[in-house]
Amino acid sequence: MLAIYRREMGAFFTSGIAYVFLTVFWLVSGIFFYNTVIAAGNADTSSLFGSMFIIVLFLIPVLTMKLLSEEKKNKTDQGLLTAPVSLWEIVLGKYFAALTLYIIAESIIFVYAFVINYLGDVIWPSLLGNYFAMLFLGAAFIAVGLFISSLTENQMASAVVCLVVLFVIYLSESLVAGFANSKSRYLKLLYKGVTNISFYSRYMEFTRGVFSLTSVLFFVSVAFIFNFLTVKVLEKRRWS
């Protein structure tokens, strides 16, 4: 797994994806930081982290689009699948490489924390809680993106489909909001089911200072499920 991890980390930088991802992430998050914290003249970061959800949603597809689709396009997937490593090692090696780059990107938050010191006291429990909320959210989204990347050899198609899926996840609660007061029991059950698996609501709990172990387990479970599905896709390809 370590060999695949190192290979993917190197590929991120040689292909330029790492530089694009980090530059855009830091630039856009910096704009949000300036507007919600510096311009507002306060040390409250809740609005900043609320906005960061959108950054993650749009940039994760860029980070994951080539992870497996490029292997399929370049016909190197068969060599990888027949290598003396398990499918879980292949998937997790690529997954943790993407997650590492994501962690590097979101760690810009600690730079912002030093800037906030000039505006007032940093509320570290809240900031760290939000940092880990972003980590769990990104871990789940990366697993979704990796799974989608395993389904196609077209990187652009992988990015677009991933973006659409994540955007639907983001809007899911809003799409069923009208069913909350419906007279239909089934529509109410649909509303309750969708809200229970809403990524956005669970993430926003952390930005409001609420640490929910249930939400942590939810994001970890999503990451595991989609990595498991990716393994199954590769397993089918190995024997086809």
Encode pLDDT of 175-185 as tens digits: 666 555 666 66
Comparing 57-71, 139-153, 191-205, 218-232, which segment has the lowest mean pLDDT?
A: 191-205
d(CA 226, CA 171): 20
Q: Give the model confidence (pLDDT) of 11-52 as tens digits.
A: 899 888 999 999 999 999 999 888 888 877 777 777 788 788
**CA–CA distances in Å: residue 6 to residues 13, 92, 101, 107, 238:** 11, 12, 12, 20, 23
Q: Supply the pLDDT for residue 84.
A: 74
Q: Give residue for tokens 């387990």.
A: 217
Q: Give the model confidence (pLDDT) of 67-118 as tens digits.
A: 888 877 777 766 666 777 788 988 999 999 999 999 999 999 999 888 888 7
Question: What domain count does the chain have?
Answer: 1
Among candidates 42, 53, 49, 206, which has minimal Cα distance to 125? 206
Range of the domain at 75: 2-239
Q: What is the pTM of this model?
A: 0.90
Among candidates 214, 221, 202, which has minimal Cα distance to 133? 202
For the chain, the average pLDDT equals 83
Contact 149, 62 (CB under 8 A): no
d(CA 12, CA 77): 17
Let me know how many helices (H) and strands (E) the chain has, helices first. 12, 0
